[in-house]
Amino acid sequence: MKKLHFLILSILLLISCQKEHFFDESVQIPDNEWNINSTVKFRFSIDDITKTYNLIININHHKNYQYNNLWLFIKTTAPNGNYQYDTVNCYFTDDNYKWIGDKNGEFIKYSTFWADSVSFVENGEYFVEIQQGLRQDKINMIKEVGLIIDKNQ
């Protein structure tokens, strides 16, 4: 299952790399220590609710990160104030416990689909808040968290 997920993600990321992203932003984690009470926040505007969107999460972690995964709690707030919660489990390793992602020195950039073909219900400003979900006071060796949104054709 992980291999299929990785293959699909690789193909979709390859396709998405050939075009400009609708939204692409990353937030640095201070001192590479993600506190359980710290939330990574993103803000973007939707101006075409007739389109669907793919949502991708990027995590840049150190090669000595102590786990093979990271749980994320994600809250999305619509312009009307309605919100939705999601939970995403990011598997950083393949079945042989080798890191998945692009290696850059001591760090590995991991990407995973959070949701695909998402329809937003109204035009306006949306907020996404991401919190680490390992239930530890702080997680070491997480450098940055990013969100990419691609508009489907």
CATH code of the region 2-151: 2.60.120
Q: Enumerate long-range contacts of 97-106, CB under 8 Å, 24 or more apart.
A: 97/68, 99/63, 100/6, 103/63, 106/62, 106/63, 106/64
- Condensed to tens digits (0 to 9), the pLDDT of residues 44-102 reads 999 999 999 999 999 999 999 999 999 999 999 999 999 999 999 999 999 999 999 99
H or E stretch at 70: strand 69-77
* C-alpha–C-alpha distance, residues 33 and 18, integer Å: 33
**pTM of the predicted structure, to 2 decimals:** 0.85
- What gap in Å lies between CA 111 and CA 106, rounded to an integer? 17
Average pLDDT of the chain is: 90
> Is the confidence at residue 108, as pLDDT, over 90?
yes
For residues 80 and 95, what is the distance between their CA atoms, to the nearest angstrom? 42
Determine the pLDDT at residue 4.
55
1 band by pLDDT with thresholds 50, 70 and 90: low
For residues 22 and 118, is the Cβ–Cβ distance under 8 A?
A: no
Residue 95, Cβ neighbours under 10 Å: how many? 10
CB contact at 8 A, 60 and 108: yes
